[in-house]
Amino acid sequence: MKKILYLSVLVPFVFLPGCSSQKQTELNPPKNGGIYVVAHRGAHRGIPENSLPAYRKAIELGVDFIEIDVRTTKDGVLVSVHNDDVDSYAKDVTGKVNDFTLNELRTIDIGSRVGAEWAGTQIPTVEEILELCQGKCGVYLDMKEAPVAKLVKLLKKYNMVNDAFWYSPSIRLPVFRKLAKECPRCIAMPDPIYKWLLPVTLQMLHPAVVATTRDAFSPDFARACHEAGAIVIMDEDESSENEWQQVIEWGVDGIQTDDPEGLINFLRRRKSEN
């Protein structure tokens, strides 16, 4: 069974055309202590996640990237919603995101469940978020459910092609094929998911950035990526200084965190002490 799983994942890579090397990509340097800070769903402690207030707070803190969970409404508008349904966002409203038009989604109050001061907070469109971020920070695009061409068009409109990471598991090959065709300059950020898939990912996709989790990350993982000319953005397991210190020593280049303020303070303090 394990051999069958290995082959079912590996074989499609052999027939992957058009994913040219991105080693020429030049990223802006990290703002805080040499490590990229990615605000997972924005700075959402005490603020509705994936909302304009959460993204605005993250920008004020000085993050390098904010993470956007990209989904598509029934009428084809790109929005930022983590779950594929709206059940957990408001009382008495259920259904899949793509079952609602944008106007229908706008009636959902995603703020009251967090606090009375956030009552009336709405699900934002990706375009609103890009307008907010332009010239201030980059975007980490978690491609939940979105047409590549439509998102590329938006990035070009706001001149953010070089300021966006496109996250998707390595095995979602059609996404990377489409991205390479639509936007060769766009920065693909595959996540190998399985440790043994990392060498294949590096060899076949030639990414400038590789995503991973704390469980999969190790010094050997970082070394392999760096030798291939890629940097590593890790999704943290917990927001703690001990974890941050360890993965930095192991060679991580960026951390996606639910505590961007804590991570930035840690990085700045660490920089001042060195």
Tell me what the pLDDT averaged over the chain comes to.
Answer: 91
If you average pLDDT over residues 138-149, what whole number do you get?
95
pLDDT at 91 over 80: no
pLDDT at 2 over 80: no
pLDDT at 176 over 70: yes
Look up tokens 């009636």; give the residue. 107
Look up tokens 């989790």; give the residue. 213
d(CA 92, CA 135): 39
Reported pTM: 0.92
Residue 34's pLDDT is what?
94
Q: Rounded to 5 degrees, what are φ and ψ at 6?
A: -60, -45
Residue 20 confidence class, pLDDT cut points 50, 70, 90:
very low
- The H or E element spanning position 249 is helix 241-250
How many other C-beta atoms can be found within 10 angstroms of the C-beta atom of residue 119? 12
pLDDT tens for each residue of 208-254: 999 999 999 999 999 999 999 999 999 998 889 999 999 999 999 99
pLDDT tens for each residue of 92-109: 889 999 999 999 999 999
pLDDT at 14 over 50: no
CA angle 49, 192, 239 (to 5 degrees): 40
User: Thinking of the domain 31-273, which architecture would CATH place it in?
Assistant: Alpha-Beta Barrel (3.20)
